[in-house]
Amino acid sequence: MVDAFATITDLQTALGRTFDDLAQVRQVTWLLEAASTYLRDELHQQIYPQAQATFNAWPEHGQVRLPMTPVISVDQVLDATGNPARFDEYRGDGKITGLYSDRKVTITVTYGYDTAPEGLKKYTVVLAAQALITLELNLGLTAGGLSSVAIDDFKAAFADAGAGTGMTLPDEVLDSLRASYNGPAVVIA
């Protein structure tokens, strides 16, 4: 099970309705989890919940850029022989500085938020709601980009020829989220 950025209660509040049926609860839970996975994939970051990771890095000029955001703490830095490596500090810009080694180091960090950030919660709700609407219209999961539906002699029209189908956000929104939660892709060796 994926830790979703938003809860069923968040979606119920946004839509002004409740989900009482067990099948609906399962479906909405899945949609919230799928939306959260989509956002994590787009951001290349776990973000939430808080976790610990150990990875290998090779210092460049005495520095290592940490591959996750936000870093809560640098818990351990070991040199190539498994002994504690000396370093000056962890800086807020995501770098460990003053490493006294140019050889491989093994770093353990705690990263991520205790609670899901509001921006990611909001977009998780938006994505899940979009998918829920198309499911309730029996249009399936790939009907994002739907611009209109007619009932008699059923007709569905898609904006941009359906280019935005599926669980997607506009590029401008994704760029803004990436800027807010920047960091390179997490590579744990």
pLDDT, position 158: 60
Query: What number is the average pLDDT over the span 33-45?
Result: 92
Nearest alpha-carbon partner for 74 in 110, 99, 112? 110
* 73-96 as b/e: b if 16+ CB within 10 A: ebeebbbeeeeebebeebeeebbb
**1-11 per-position pLDDT tens digit:** 579 999 999 99
**78-129 per-position pLDDT tens digit:** 998 999 998 888 877 778 888 887 889 999 999 999 999 999 999 999 999 9
Any residues with CB less than 8 A from the CB of 54 and at least 6 apart, and which? 76, 106, 107, 108, 188
pTM over 0.85: no
**158-180 per-position pLDDT tens digit:** 665 445 556 788 889 988 888 88
Task: Give the pairing type, strands 51-57 and 89-91.
Answer: unpaired
Residue type at position 174: L
Per cent of the chain over pLDDT 70 is 80
User: Looking at the predicted structure, is the pLDDT value of residue 27 above 80?
Assistant: yes
